[in-house]
């Protein structure tokens, strides 16, 4: 292994190759690594074969196992950054550091709440000429963001979904049914709240999606996205406007219990 990671051609394969080389060089086995890190052998095999994006905890476990002083953790950061568009990386970093995330989505479901099939369908629509391997890398990176809400100390996540996000057919009916059931299951987590803004509620307080992120040791920032670019601002005036818009959206949306019931109802409609 080199002291500093080189730029990968395929991020997942690159991490896997580095892991395989470390095992070979140390004379240790994948089974031993699995036992040490607390992950199952099939998971280690998938990472080694470039079939899965490793978690930060696994990368840190690799560093302890091989005594590589943070090499695998740094490698994972580079792989994750490469899998996301350059303009999206600042948001991903802020998302990891946030203690509270408030999101309004009016076209597609928030990335960290997407299923594999739903995410794959969105990327295939956006990047129709990319290879299966390229699409897979994008999906892996998006789904890896779920670790933010699945870790031991997750942030508070409050998501307002316009009804359009639930009615827009992404993939097919089976994909949508699974995605909506997945949303309903996420809503059962104590730190996750979902609300649905019905189409019949009229003109929404915001015509565009946005996210408010509040870290432990800094001001709230607002993230917005346009075609091929994202923008993060900590302008007090802009953030205040975003906060006011979110509060109006929250007041207009169905309450959490009614929202989850509606999500489940629409999922059943897709099952028919």
The CATH number of whichever domain residue 193 belongs to comes to 3.30.870
**pLDDT higher than 60, residue 87:** no
pTM exceeding the 0.85 threshold for the entire prediction:
no
77 lies in the same domain as 100: no
Q: Are 58 and 116 contained in the same domain?
A: no
Same domain? For 34 and 130 the reply is no
Rounded distance between C-alpha atoms, residue 145 and residue 165, angstroms: 20
pLDDT at 253 (0 to 100) = 97
Q: Is the pLDDT of residue 10 over 80?
A: no
Q: What percent of the chain has pLDDT over 70?
A: 90
Gap between the Cα atoms of 230 and 41, Å rounded: 38
Whether residues 219 and 182 share a domain: the answer is yes
**Whether residues 168 and 255 fall in one domain:** yes
Could you tell me which residue, 218 or 101, shows the higher pLDDT?
101
In a domain, 3, yes or no: no
pLDDT bin (cut points 50, 70, 90) of residue 89 is low
More confident residue, 119 or 53: 119
Average pLDDT over residues 261-266: 98
Answer yes or no: do 169 and 34 share one domain: no
Question: CA 187, 190, 196: angle at the middle one, nearest 5?
Answer: 30
Please indicate, yes or no, if residue 4 is contained in any of the structural domains: no
Taking the C-alpha atoms of residue 65 and residue 180, their distance in angstroms, rounded to an integer, is 39
Q: Flag whether 48 is in a domain.
A: yes
Tell me, yes or no, whether 26 and 142 share the same domain.
no
- Report the domain count for the chain: 2
Average pLDDT over residues 172-199: 97
CB 184 within 8 A of CB 73: no
Q: What is the pLDDT of residue 3?
A: 43
Distance CA 169, CA 147 (A): 26
Structural contact between residues 74 and 5, judged by C-beta atoms closer than 8 angstroms: yes
pLDDT at 225 over 90: no
65, 82, 99 — which closes off a domain? 82
The arithmetic mean of pLDDT across residues 223-234, rounded, is 79
Domain boundary (82, 107, 138) is at 82
Q: Return d(Cα 212, Cα 103) in angstroms, integer.
A: 6
Residue 56 is part of a domain; what is its CATH number?
1.10.260.40
What's the pLDDT band for 82 if we cut at 50, 70, 90?
Answer: low
Evaluate whether residue 193 is within a structural domain: yes
Q: Are residues 163 and 242 in the same domain?
A: yes
Among residues 61, 82, 103, which one ends one of the domains?
A: 82
Residue 5 lies in a domain: no
| Tokens found for residue 142 | 């998006």
Structure tokens, 179: 């995605």
Mean pLDDT in residue range 20-47: 92
Are both 183 and 248 inside the same structural domain? yes
Question: Do 78 and 40 lie in a common domain?
Answer: yes
25 and 128 belong to one structural domain: no
pLDDT at 5: 43
Position 1 in a domain: no
Residue 136 confidence (pLDDT): 87
> Sorting pLDDT into bands at 50, 70 and 90, what band is 19?
very high
Range(s) of the domain holding residue 41: 11-82
């Amino acid at each position: 292994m080199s002291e500093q990671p080189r730029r990968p051609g395929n991020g997942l394969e690159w991490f896997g190759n580095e892991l395989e080389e470390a095992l070979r060089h140390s004379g240790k086995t994948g089974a031993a690594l699995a036992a040490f890190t607390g992950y199952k052998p099939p998971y280690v095999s998938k990472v080694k074969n470039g079939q899965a994006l490793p978690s930060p905890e696994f990368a840190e476990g690799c560093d302890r196992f091989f005594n590589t002083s943070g090499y695998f953790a740094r490698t994972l950061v580079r792989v994750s950054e490469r899998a996301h568009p350059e303009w999206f990386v600042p948001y991903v970093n802020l998302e990891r550091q946030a203690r509270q995330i408030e999101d309004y989505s009016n076209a597609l479901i928030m990335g960290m709440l997407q299923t594999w099939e739903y995410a794959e369908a969105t990327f295939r629509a956006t990047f129709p000429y990319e290879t299966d391997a390229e699409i897979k890398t994008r999906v892996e990176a998006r789904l890896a963001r779920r670790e933010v809400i699945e870790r031991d100390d997750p942030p508070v996540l409050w998501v307002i979904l316009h009804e359009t996000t639930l009615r827009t057919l992404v993939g097919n009916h089976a994909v949508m049914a699974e995605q909506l059931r997945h949303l309903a299951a996420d809503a059962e987590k104590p730190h996750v709240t979902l609300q649905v803004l019905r189409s019949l509620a009229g003109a929404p307080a915001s015509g565009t999606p946005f996210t408010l992120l509040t870290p432990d040791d800094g001001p709230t920032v607002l993230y917005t996205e346009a075609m091929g670019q994202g923008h993060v601002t900590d302008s007090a005036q802009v953030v205040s406007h975003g906060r006011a818009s979110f509060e109006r959206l929250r007041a207009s949306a169905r309450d959490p219990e009614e929202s989850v019931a509606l999500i489940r109802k629409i999922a059943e409609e897709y099952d028919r």
